[in-house]
Amino acid sequence: ATQRCRSPLLFSIIIICFASQKYSLPIYSFRMFENVFRKKCREDLATVVRHTRVPPPHLSFTKAKTFRTGRVSDWLTDRSNKTKMAGCPVIKAEVKCGGIVIKDEWPGYHLDLFTYPAHYSGDLECVYLPHGIVMDRTERLARNIMDDLGAHDIVVLCVLKGGYQFCADLVECIKALSRNSDTSLLMRVDFIRLKSYLNDKSTEDLHIVGAEDLSVLRGKNVLIVEAIVDTGKTMSALLKHVETFRPKMVKVAGLLVKRVEDGVGILPDYVGFEIPNRFVVGYALDYNEYFRDLNHICVISERGKMKYRI
């Protein structure tokens, strides 16, 4: 309020104070100006309170609106309970049991907002899911798994190569929850390798490596961890193979599930994100063995596809 007072009045009071000290003026002369000053401040303070909603001069309401568009929440939808995530000004995603659903129109983040290896310059279109968002979602999946399977010992079957990073982070989150809760979950981790992609296409030729002897699964609770489920044909074939070893229970955790027209309807029990049919790389997902060293999940550009095509 004092900043809104007129400068001549404030200047006069300063002069009076200086004069009263130097020339021993009567004290009532100072108090008279002091009372006038306080009255003026009260009037100006009331003016400030009445206009608290006025924007600062350097930021109009028109400009402020531009800062509030293009949020991730504009591109995320829910198909079930309409329960919104809270506590984050950028991510206000709506969640369903099948994961966070990302709309087809979501353009991703500009590459200049993040760091990535320089040797991939020009090979990426955008950052689709930043590493931090992936990790936060993984922590939530770990809690869901603990709630469902915490009373059982499980065998985690990691699907290589694309699933190794997601599996490692998921297992670490489960271990952290197990250490800090009354429920202790005993885990054993095993690995299996699947290969069904050539360039950016999923082929019918499925190669399963390391599946010759999975007798350890017999009578056990199995959690299959896969990074991405595309058409679902690969996962369907894997589930049939795992069932031959007669496990007690089989659950599937998938970080990404694509919306595709020719899918076979395989939906994991635990889903991180449901995404459009776009070819994504990073976070151990590859394109002909490239891009596994990216922290973020990105969309590969047409130049990148041509550069690393075989």
Of 159-163, 297-301, 306-310, which has the strongest mean pLDDT? Answer: 297-301
Work out the widest C-alpha separation in the chain, in whole angstroms: 105
Paired with 197 in beta bridges are 202
Please tell me the distance from the alpha carbon of residue 266 to that of residue 82, in angstroms, as a whole number.
Answer: 23
Read off the pLDDT of residues 151-161 as tens digits, 9 standing for 90 and up.
Answer: 788 999 999 98
With 0.75 as the threshold, say if the pTM is over it.
no
What positions carry a catalytic annotation? 230
Read off the pLDDT of residues 187-226 as tens digits, 9 standing for 90 and up.
Answer: 999 999 887 666 566 556 667 776 667 888 999 999 999 9
Q: How confident is the model at residue 15 (pLDDT cuts 50, 70, 90)?
A: low
Phi, psi of 178 (to 5 degrees): -65, -35
